[in-house]
Amino acid sequence: MNKLNEIISAIKKPLSFASRHQFANLDTVKKLEYHLHTLAEEALSLPLDTENKALFQKLLDCVDSFDSLNNEGKKERIENVLTLLSKIKGGETTDPCAWKRLSTPIQFVKGVGPRISELLGKKGIHTVGDALYFLPRRYEDRREIKKIAAITTSAIETVRGNILMLDVVPYMKGRKRIFEMAVSDGTGTVIAKWFHFNERYMKKRFSRGQQVIISGEVKLYRFQKEIHHP
């Protein structure tokens, strides 16, 4: 497969998945605008003839502001992009063997079987292709580690520190219990809380003085910064 074919295939696969079953998978596919824009720019860097270059330029215009559209607008744009791809010369977008593999029922993938297949089906995953494009609901960049004193409430933050205290604490007048862990980096302290936990596992996994990195949404409770289920 030449470079142009690779780009066309990479553009077409998520669009074909999103439009399957009358666009039932549209909300599952995220970051399409960035993905399509990057690939179209890559295609325009190739030595294309005038007609193909014009088609990719139209494709670029078509995906502009795609992520901000409502679903009806997105459906129309996807159909337009697929039409443009079909007009590109010198690019064969159909690989019968590859598409046949993608349409393989998920049940027949090694290690899946009928029971797990039924569970996956509830998530809309019926084929290998469905599983391939079942993307995360959101992306969190945890590479930036902040000082605890600098973290902001209601934001997703990542901190590093040492465990000062950890224990099971009663709440709701003793009717329920939570697992709390106080983490400090010298600039401040944040409380990590788990409302659903295995006490034996948590006490085996964590110990006082241990250095940990935790990440999650920062909350404020009685003037104390907390992260629930980091």
Residues 116, 221 share a domain:
no
Domain range spanning residue 194? 148-228
Instruction: Quote the mean pLDDT of the chain.
Output: 87
> What is the C-alpha radius of gyration for the chain, rounded to an integer number of angstroms?
24
Residue with the bigger pLDDT between 29 and 116: it is 116
pLDDT 10s digits, 113-140: 888 999 998 888 888 888 877 777 666 7
Q: Give 203's contacts (C-beta < 8 A, 6+ positions apart).
A: 166
In a domain, 139, yes or no: no
How far apart, in whole angstroms, are the C-alpha atoms of residue 184 and residue 165? 10
pTM: 0.49
pLDDT at 93: 44
How many distinct structural domains can be found in the chain? 2
pLDDT of residue 4: 87
Last residue of a domain, one of 132, 167, 189: 132
Q: What contacts 84, CB < 8 A, 6 or more positions away?
A: 55, 58, 59, 62
Question: Is the same domain home to 55 and 107?
Answer: yes
Do residues 102 and 40 both lie within one domain? yes
Q: State the DSSP code for 20.
A: H
Number of helices (H), then strands (E), belonging to the chain: the values are 8, 5
Asked if the structure places residue 141 within a domain, the reply is no
169 versus 3: the higher-pLDDT residue is 169
Query: How many C-beta atoms lie closer than 10 Å to residue 140's C-beta?
Result: 11
- Is the domain of 162 the same as that of 97? no
